[in-house]
Amino acid sequence: MSSDPLWGDPLSEAADGVTVPFAGDLGDVTAARLAAAGFLGTLALGEPPVSAEHRDDILLAVSELAANAIQYAPGPFVLSLRRTFDGVHVVVADTNPDPPEPRRYHPSKGGGIGWHLIHALADEVSVVPGDDGKEIHLFLPW
């Protein structure tokens, strides 16, 4: 790692977290997952996850939240990740003020497991409604 200020300190940047805006296009699910993977990769340089599954769980949760934002809250969304004392805080802010509702899984229709999956993966889930949409906050182990 270089101490040259031109390059910055990736570990310091990981500690500060990352916030990435997306237009809400279908390809943004992959882009959000890649942004999260980059943040987690940098974070792991200084502090590897307790279990490899923790990284995978965070990436799966980010993918689900991004997909839900695109499907149920058309328009832009913002992904934020930051390290907390006991894990990783993930926030997705979208344009729909309505809180997510669990749906029953129907194999013929697809879907219906994402919100249940998010609750199973995260230590804590909260929805904060606002005038222009909502934020979904997840706390996941690292």
- Predicted confidence (pLDDT) per residue in 35-68, tens digit: 999 999 999 999 999 999 999 999 999 999 999 9
Binned at pLDDT 50, 70 and 90, residue 16 comes out as confident
Residue 3 pLDDT > 50, yes or no? no
Residue 4 lies in a domain: no
- Token pair, residue 133, equals 């949409």
Q: What's the pTM value of the predicted model, to 2 decimals?
A: 0.87
**Residue 79: DSSP 8-state:** E
Q: Write the CA distances from 46 to 12, 19, 86, 139, integer angstroms.
A: 10, 20, 15, 20
The fraction of the chain above a pLDDT of 90, given in percent, is 74
Q: Residue 111 corresponds to which amino acid?
A: G
Residue 8 lies in a domain: no
Give the domain extent around 117. 20-141
Residue 48 lies in a domain: yes
CATH of residue 38: 3.30.565.10
Closest C-alpha to 123, from 108, 138, 101: 138
Residue 31 lies in a domain: yes
Contacts for 65 with CB less than 8 Å, ≥ 6 apart: 32, 79, 90, 92, 118, 136, 138
Residue 117 lies in a domain: yes
The pLDDT, as a whole number, for residue 2 is 45
Q: How many domains does the chain have?
A: 1
